[in-house]
A = this chain, B = another copy of it.
Amino acid sequence: MSASSEHGPQRPGERRQDLATNLRIAVLRLSRRLRNESTLEVSEAQHSVLSALFHLGPMTPGKLAEHDHVQRPSMTRTVASLEERGLVVRRQDSDDKRSVVVHITDDGRALVKEIKRRRTAWLDKRLARLTAAERQTIAQAATILRRMVEQ
Residues of A bordering B, CB below 8 Å: 7-11, 14, 16-17, 19-36, 69, 116, 119-121, 123-124, 126-130, 132, 134-146, 148-149, 151
A101 CB to nearest chain B CB (Å) = 25
Number of copies: 2
Q: Are A120 and B21 in contact (CB under 8 A)?
A: yes
Given A9-B132, A139-B14, A141-B138, also A127-B29 (CB < 8 A): no
A1 CB to nearest chain B CB (Å) = 14
- CB within 8 A of A28: which of B11, B29, B31, B129? B31
Minimal Cβ-Cβ distance residue in B for A140: B137
Given A21-B120, A141-B137, also A149-B33 (CB < 8 A): yes
